[in-house]
Amino acid sequence: MKKMAVLLSGCGVFDGSEIHEAVLTLLALAKAGVSYQCFAPDIAQMHVINHAAGAVAEGETRNVLVESARIARGEIKATTELDISEFDGLVIPGGFGAAKNLCDFAVNGAEMQIPPLVTEFIGQFIKANKVVGFICISPIMIPLLYGAGAQGTIGTDADTAAAFKAMGGDHQAVTVDEIVVDAARKVVSTPAYMLAGNIVEVHNGIEKLVAKVVELA
């Protein structure tokens, strides 16, 4: 049985992993007959958002690993616990946590950086030539991780696509239910809620991405 790692970035669209995307990823993997293990970096969130009010919860702090455990039903490991030999690939759901906690794109745009804990984790899959799937905003990390010419998509958002290109990436504009495959680098991406108007559209794109990730594994 193939086994995939899933990298989470908290719990909640505005400050962590997009919950629908994360759950649909786990469901698609399970339906494909693939086992999985969730991981998250053991770091503080950039900030905490009150999702009911849509505002920053001043004075609150939360841990990315602890919050991600909510989605994983407690079955989660810190990124430092990865044994790359156990896994055939990796999938990274989106949500603002991917742009705030896994990197700082939300603050610094094309001048973004990726924390060492995250770079080291994803880098193990890259060095081992294992497939990685990026969902929603998480593909913004592709150019920094894979270098000039790496292909990916965040859908059709002009500003985000421009940042992707400014970092050296080869951005492909696609519709919500499409995927982009960089076969040479074994990278797959799909827009999900960067474009989706509803959860069905998100499901369709993620199911295609997971199917391709499993195939390339």
- CATH topology for the 3-216 domain: Rossmann fold (3.40.50)
Q: Which long-range contacts (CB under 8 A, 24 or more apart) does 100-104 make?
A: 100/9, 100/15, 100/45, 100/46, 100/47, 101/9, 101/10, 101/15, 101/16, 101/41, 101/43, 101/45, 101/46, 101/64, 102/7, 102/9, 102/41, 102/138, 102/141, 103/140, 103/141, 103/144, 104/46
**pLDDT score for 52:** 95
Catalytic residue among 11, 38, 103, 136: 136
11: annotated active-site residue = no
pLDDT in tens, 44-56: 999 999 999 999 9
Domain limits, the chain: 3-216
**Mean pLDDT across 88-106:** 98
pLDDT in tens, 127-182: 999 999 999 999 999 999 999 999 999 999 999 999 999 999 999 999 999 999 99
